[in-house]
Chain A
Amino acid sequence: MSIRAPRKGENYELSVDLNSEYRDKRKDAIKRVIASMTVGKDVSGLFPDVLKNMQTEDLEQKKLVYLYLMNYAKTQPELVILAVNTFVKDSEDPNPLVRALAIRTMGCLRAEKIIDYLCDPLQRALRDDNPYVRKTAALCVAKLYDLKPELVIENGFLDQLHDMISDSNPMVVANTVAALTDIHIAATSNQPTDTTSNPAVFSITSAVLNKLLIALNECSEWGRVAILNALARYEAQDDKESEHICERVVPQFQHVNGSVVLAAMKVIMIHIRNVRRDDLVKQLIRKMAPPLVTLLSSPPEVQWVALRNINLLLQKRSDLLSNEMRVFFCKYNDPLYVKIEKLDIMVRLASDNNVDALLSELKEYSSEVDVDFVRKSIKAIGQTAISIESAAERCVNVLLELINTRVSYVVQEGVVVMKDIFRKYPSTYEGVIPTLCANLEELDEPEAKASLIWIIGEYAEKIDNADELLGIFVDSFTEESYQVQLQTLTAVVKLFLKKPDSSQGVVQRVLNTATKDCDSPDVRDRAYIYWRLLSTDPGAAKAVVLAHRPPISIPRTTVSPALLEELLGEISSLASVYHKPAQTFVGHGRVGADSVQRQGSEISDAQKALQTVVAGQQAENLLDFGEDPAQDGQPSGLAATQILPSTPAAANFLSGTSANPLDDLVSIFGSMGTEVVGAGSAAALSQTSMSVSSPFDFGGLSAPSSQPTQNAQPQEDLLGLF
């Protein structure tokens, strides 16, 4: 039994007022009870008093009492039983609003005991004359299924729902579809194998399809989204039917609500796969652009979601917005998350025609205050240079201008980007090397330093004072980060192979330091390899260290083609915003009436999910550079960092992928490396590379035991294993 409130204090006063003879005083008291409840005060002691006020003509008061009941139903289900009679009575009230309210509230109570009383009223409500009651009842069936699926099946509610797809009222149809979809999801997520015999599975037949297409134009925005989501699941019989669906759905692009537009876009992207008529495909694609542009005039939050989806759509249909790059120009006042997405899309849309406009924008952004954004802009310049060959020179000129500003982070990012341009266009822009070297002193970030060292090493024969410049880094070798150490080591060896006369001393010094004073196994091992190579066969050393590297390119997609297809099917969902398949991060939120105590055990599920995401991320990184074998399995700074913007909100999962290209060594074993990487799994990578390392197991040099523990630098680890 409930405990009576003490005879004084706030609750006592409330209890007196709840029993007042005056209606308004009682109603006012209920409001105060609700107010206390929402700020977290315990007013459960007033339960019997509040319950007395449930039977009333005043709908507003009734709603407030129901609100109270819903709040305490979870913690004190035994009390709610007291209210059951009123609910059942209300479900037969002449006022349809009261009937609907009773049904809706009973569905929300989620108390096992009350469910048994729900079936009869629900049965009636599903057949109610009033569409408002029917559409409320439809959703209630889904809730009941969540709690006790067997009740739904026994009572034939499912068949009734299927009949209701033919309801005359479009809103009832929409809610019925929503309910059936919920039931479908609940049923299939529990036992995914058994799909045909399960009556709860909502299979959309062509008869259903036609009803949905008719209701689509009649119902509210939310109803439309529900119907569109169902249409996305439909498997068309032939291309004619796909065309029909596309043609019927396209008008939804003209809805004011952005979520309807995106849901329609999802349906089109799915069914367009089967459309054979080229003219129709062209027409559909043309019609997709304007609503996307319109979404960009929305508030920043909506813009962001839209931009994430546009980014995905563009990976599949690069022609989608080819004339619209200007719409994506960043404004100073845009939030950073919007700017970064816009930047990514602008680079995607870059072509010969608009590259000048793009470059002058990027240059503009590079003078802004926000450091992150400036860096991303400079990266974008590099990406443009790499993807559009004819514009490379203009890009380099812009970069030079930026480097000449001498703003520290601009210079550093510029150097990193220049290195990638050198990779793509070897021996083309050597004229800029003096400018880069002039900024040597200002570099303090490992990646920038490593990039400059790589450039010096690569073009050592053309830089007169290369030994001097590299000498600076050799002097401070032990203080540098491993990244810089590795790069210094390689650059000095390159220098030695190119100009053996002047650099004998420096190469001796660096090999000595690296093998004796360095605590990184990777650096040490690499130094040993070089040493061994140089001492046994300088010719082989030349063939290895100075080997020709295939130029890099930037993948058009940031996700694998298979994943892209999957994500396109989920346009407008969380998956498409995160660019991650849904199952890696979404679980089932709702819990049954009695499963709250299972909480503890479920926490491990969350951790599992987390690991999956991390693994997925890792696999993605690897896939990313394994995609194009010509890339010698090496995402250089640019390609690798492209992954970063693709996961803004899930960034906490994202391990930094700023691994510097330690290209030279990897490229030697390039052919082997890519095959392995193509397999796409980190485990396979480490294993096979272990075996690869054995032929190079010179003399006393044993394969080091450093396993790739940090997923942050798979590439470096790969190097370390050699």
Chain B
Amino acid sequence: MAIDGLIILDPAGRPIIQSSYSCYPTAYPMLHIEALNNALEKAPRGGSVDPVIYVAELSCSSACCHVEVGGMRFLATISEDADPLIAFAFLDTFIEILHDYFGTVNLATLKDNFDIVYQLLEETLDSSGHPLTTSQNALSDIVLPPTLISKLLASVSPSATGVPSGRQGGSFGLTGASGAFASPIPWRKAGVRHNHNEILFDVVEDMRAIVGKNGMTLVSNVFGKIESNAKLSGTPDLTLTFTNPSVMTDCAFHPCVRLQRWTRDNSLSFVPPEGRFILADYQYKPPQGAVISNVPIPLSLKANVDMGEFGGTFTLTLTSRSMKVMENVELELYLGEDATSAQCTLSSAGSGVGSVGSADGSWSFDSRKKMLRWEILNMRSSGSWILRGSWTSKIKAPRPAHAFQIRFEIPSFSFSSLKVDQLRLSGETYKMYKGVRMRSKGSLEWRW
């Protein structure tokens, strides 16, 4: 396992930040950057590049793994027989850390905070290629996040505030040292104190499905995640139980979860890290025995598309089948390389009394991406919405995609109806605030 280094490229493909590569020839990082840029250049418009690019120019042939974030490319170079998945997992973790530190990850924030990015890079990736500290709990002790105060201090004249800020930096080093890594639990800081103790769980379920031409569900999978945010003092030992844990299958857990307990009685027993973390991943599978083992899709689409010469017409009817209100319903159709324009009208025919027509929907055509988009911000239960329209194309036989991409969100709903039974705290005596929220979303491919 050896990630030689990490390079961040700006949208133009120039490196803005890279790790030191002190053990490698000077040309080493450049060759990887070049290989990636060449591959990107060669790729057809909108085409995809293999995520692992083999770089053979150097005596030590190696590969670079890359992902795109906010227009930038993050690339991790690996040599020897390393695991590309480690590279991707590391990139993912690193980007997540940047998100945590700066809120967003874009060119401007990285340039503004390049010194922090460098420090993070040093702390997370050893020059011998081993990822080091990536747990946010430990990192925040050794690399100070940019705070409002430090920004304020930086903006006023340095001479005026020189002394206090310097002291702040120094003192942090010492206090941090006592806490950092002295904790017996690797993922948790020692000696955390909060005036107000709380832990929040967000259960987010994500449906991925493909619906065939005939309206039959071909595949539907629901992947769930329990996102947690803990602000608890001391060393809290928590036990989370569910009324119906059987709906969670193929679980994967944060290292803090005691696996033996889960295998024994399906309860999650753990000492949480501080702050945000993902407690568990699972897949929801409907109970066995049902004829169709698919999770029902909460909306339906009736699509009539007539292809003509130099364009076509369509009538799309979206109907909600959900008992809950669906939000941010979004439908996309790629109209083909040669599409030039689209014209649509919206209407809604629903059982709802005060259906207001186009007020709650909008459509657009992205002439660069050739994408027709239809958005409905708020879709009440069992209402119907209709989009009629036509598009034009430069070529005689237009070739639009044969699948609609539909995304939706359903707040306060879960496909699995997973229910938290109780959350017990032991090891500490304070009272804590507990909260559980359910949320669902989905992305469907609807073929026609």
Contact = CB atoms under 8 A, between A and B. Distances in A.
B409 interface: no
B165 interface: yes
B369 interface: no
Interface in B1-32: 1-2, 4, 16-18, 20, 22-26, 28
Interface string A162-192: 0000000011000100100010010000000
B376 interface: no
A57 B23 contact: no
A297 B441 CA distance: 14
A652 interface: yes
B253 interface: yes
B134 interface: yes
A671 interface: no
B50 A606 contact: no
B54 interface: yes
A78 to B, nearest CB: 16
Contact of B162 (A22, A57, A60, A589): A22
B85 A262 contact: yes
A432 interface: no
A226 B122 contact: no
A339 B280 CA distance: 28
Given A256-B253, A294-B223, A96 B177 contact: yes
B62 A602 contact: no
B54 A650 contact: yes
A57 B173 contact: yes
A251 B262 CA distance: 11
Contacts of A182: 128
Interface in B74-91: 78-86, 88-90
A261 B86 CA distance: 11
Highest count of chain B CB atoms <10 Å: which of A73, A178, A367, A575 = A178
Contact of A587 (B79, B127, B176, B252): B79
B115 A587 contact: no
B83 A589 contact: no
Nearest to A261: B252
A415 to B, nearest CB: 22
Interface string B17-55: 110101111101000000000000000000110111110
Contacts of A70: 20, 22
Majority-rule SS of A interface residues: helix
Interface string A199-224: 00000000000000000011111100
Contact of A25 (B62, B159, B280): B159
A337 interface: yes
A599 B59 CA distance: 8
B412 interface: no
Contacts of B82: 573-574
B252 A574 contact: no
Interface stretch (A103-111, A390-398, A434-442): A103-111
A3 interface: no
B419 interface: no
Nearest to B219: A326
Given A70-B20, A142-B128, A225 B86 contact: yes
Interface stretch (A30-38, A274-282, A455-463, A555-563): A30-38
Contacts of B144: 60
Contacts of A602: 59
Interface string A310-336: 000000000000000011010111011
A431 interface: no
B375 interface: no
B250 A293 contact: yes
Given A305-B85, A332-B403, A57 B166 contact: yes
Interface in A554-592: 570, 572-575, 577-578, 582, 585-591
Contacts of B401: 332, 368-369
Contacts of A713: none
A329 B221 CA distance: 12
Contacts of A361: 218
Given A104-B126, A143-B127, A220-B186, A132 B180 contact: yes
Contacts of A255: 252-253, 255
A610 interface: yes
A255 B206 CA distance: 19
Contacts of A261: 252
A446 interface: no
Given A23-B163, A262-B85, A591-B23, 6 more contacts: A25-B159, A97-B180, A327-B219, A332-B403, A574-B52, A648-B50
Interface of A: 22-25, 27-28, 31, 34-35, 38, 57-61, 63-64, 67, 70-71, 73-74, 95-98, 104, 107-110, 130-132, 136, 139, 142-143, 146, 170-171, 175, 178, 182, 185, 217-222, 225-226, 229, 251, 253-259, 261-263, 290-291, 293-294, 297, 299-302, 304-306, 326-327, 329, 331-333, 335-337, 357, 360-361, 364, 367-369, 570, 572-575, 577-578, 582, 585-591, 596, 599, 602-603, 605-606, 609-610, 648-650, 652
Closest 4 CB pairs of A and B: A589-B79, A602-B59, A132-B181, A335-B48
24 contacts: A23-B162, A24-B159, A24-B165, A59-B172, A63-B118, A130-B181, A139-B126, A226-B130, A254-B251, A259-B85, A262-B85, A263-B83, A304-B52, A305-B84, A326-B218, A335-B48, A368-B402, A572-B86, A588-B79, A589-B2, A596-B25, A602-B59, A605-B59, A649-B63
